[in-house]
Amino acid sequence: MGHPIQQDGLSAVRDDAGDAGDPRDAHDAHDMEAPGIPVLLEDCLERALERVRAGDGPGAEAALADAETASDTGAAGDARVAHLRAVAAHLRHDAEAAERLMAVALTATTDPTLVASLHNDLGNMRLEAGRPAAAVESYEASLAVQPADAPTWANLATARRHAGDPVGAGRTGLHVLELESGAALGRAAVGAALVHLTGQGRTTEALDLVRRWVELDPEHPGARHRLAALGGLPVPDRAPDDYVETLFDASAEDFDDHLAGLGYRAPGLVVDHVTVLLGEAGGALDVADLGCGTGLVGHLVRPWARSLVGCDLSVGMLRKAQRRGCYDTLHHAELGAFLGARHAAYDLVVCADTLCYFGDLTDVTRAAAGALRPGGTLVATVERLEDRSWQLTPTGRYAHSSGHLHEVAVRAGLHEVTTRRVHLRLEAGEPVEGLLWSARRPRAAADGTGADS
């Protein structure tokens, strides 16, 4: 779940990407107390709210049925009762009943703050039900009453993006930044729109959007890196650490589910190649997982490990990896610095979809070679490039050629260098092509470039 955005009437929950969240999270019933309503009705509403938060639609409806007999003033006309009934129906996937009951709730109040909140929650329900165009209408109705509510604008950005309007979504995210300078919801909304635009090859529209983002948010590393990726600034040799850290902190909670939806294959490809190179797992190796994220590679490679350490720039990712329970040690560190401090410490270094935040891989490869013991193995994935050594792509990630991988590995004193074309995942419905790369540190050095002499 995300951060609750409290409003005077109801609340919606949105995740860090600006997505509308679970409409179950409404204010406690006592937040909307009305004069003359018996305590018994409030008790029923509290019970119903607890059931809603637990995802128990039938339980909420049972508590609300008690509300009918708990009030002499007529619970059926209470906006709170109708709203909770609507959410309970939504939990039962009864969209028709949810719509009808929200209409009842809207006719039962004239309070503008509550009206805006009800429209916002209706938008959340519609978006969760896979009806983004209808959700757009609801969010717009909410904003017609409360035009300065930045979180609802962020929800509108999400709905517009899901409705197939990434330009409108991006502009809506920019409006969030106009309302609240540096707002995480606004940044996330613009970033998500850029992902869609660049995935569709609409780089001119993406460039217009990111230029305005930099004007509104000039110190944000993500905005500046995106502008460089689209040709608006000189290309850096690598993505800034704070850009990578904030990017993955924002997506950590839903990261695994998101990648599953993209058919993410890199962890399995890496570990399958480890099996080819090293044979069946024996639990005897010291292993480092670079850019370990939530541990998708770590739990697969664990059977080979006597000790398994992970490093990542994102604290949010590391917390998820810790809960997975497969690592002996986790480090909040940039991978080059991590490797540089650990000479000849590992038998195996793995790295899935992390080198896409580096351009020239010379220094990183040299550091990896130094961290490997004689005979140790490096296995990694990169995004594939055909006609040059490396390039920052419009997605904000770097791609690399097979020739560059061979060159930097040999320079670092590694041998047995292999690359193989692979399909890493889907993006905007299209496969992302990559390279599965491996190299080994010689057991006895032929020169002094990368191994013990």
% of the chain residues with pLDDT over 70? 87
Cα–Cα distance measured from residue 255 to residue 261, given in angstroms and rounded to the nearest whole number: 10
| Per-residue confidence (pLDDT) for residue 77, from 0 to 100 | 64
Domain contains 154: yes
Residue 38 has pLDDT above 60, yes or no: no
Same-domain pairing of 143 and 9: yes
Give Rg (Cα) of the chain. 26
The pLDDT of residue 267 is above 50: yes
- Give the per-residue pLDDT at 450: 43
Which of 163, 179, 203 is where one domain is finished?
A: 163
| Region class of 318: left (phi > 0), else alpha (psi between -120 and 50), else beta | alpha
- The answer to whether residue 250 sits within a structural domain is no
Instruction: Judge contact between 445 and 453, C-beta under 8 A.
Output: yes
- The overall average pLDDT reported for the chain is 87
- Cβ-contact 359, 392 below 8 angstroms: yes
What token pair was written down for 226?
């995106």
Residue 12 clears pLDDT 50, i.e. is over it: no
Q: In the chain, how many domains are there?
A: 2
The position carrying tokens 């990694």 is: 380
Question: Looking at the structure, do residues 268 and 403 belong to the same domain, yes or no?
Answer: yes
Asked if residues 375 and 346 have their Cβ atoms less than 8 Å apart, the reply is no
Q: What is the value of pTM for the model shown?
A: 0.77
Compute the average pLDDT of residues 120-131.
Answer: 95
- Assess if residue 185 is contained within a domain: no
pLDDT, tens digit, for every residue of 332-364?
A: 999 999 999 999 999 999 999 999 999 999 999
Least confident stretch, 163-167, 252-256, 365-369, 388-392: 252-256
Residue 237 lies in a domain: no
Rounded to 10 deg, the angle between the 241-251 and 315-324 helix axes is 50
pLDDT above 50 for 449: no
- The pLDDT of residue 331: 98
User: Does a structural domain hold residue 239?
Assistant: no
Q: How far apart are CA 197 and CA 427, in angstroms?
A: 11
User: Mean pLDDT highest for which of 11-15, 249-253, 394-398?
Assistant: 394-398
Residue 446 lies in a domain: no
According to DSSP, the β-strands at 285-290 and 305-312 are parallel
What CATH number has the domain bearing residue 285?
3.40.50.150
Looking at the fold, whether 149 and 29 belong to one and the same domain comes out as: yes
The total of other beta-carbon atoms located within 10 Å of residue 439's CB is: 28
Q: State the average pLDDT over residues 10-33.
A: 40
CATH code at position 159: 1.25.40.10
pLDDT higher than threshold 90 for residue 177: yes
User: Which domain does 302 fall in, by range?
Assistant: 255-440
Confidence of residue 142 (pLDDT cuts 50, 70, 90): very high
Confidence (pLDDT) at 83: 87
Same domain, residue pair 302 and 405: yes
CA distance 234 to 256: 33
Residue with tokens 């109705």: 141
> DSSP string spanning 286-350?
EEEEET-TTSTTHHHHGGGEEEEEEEES-HHHHHHHHHHT--SEEEES-HHHHHHT-TT-EEEEE
pLDDT by residue (tens digit) across 289-312?
999 999 999 999 999 999 999 999
Residue 30: the pLDDT is 35
- Select from 163, 193, 227 the last residue of a domain: 163
Do residues 312 and 416 both lie within one domain?
A: yes
The answer to whether residue 276 sits within a structural domain is yes
261 shares a domain with 124: no
Whether residue 282 sits in one domain with residue 418:
yes
Would you say residue 222 lies in a domain? no
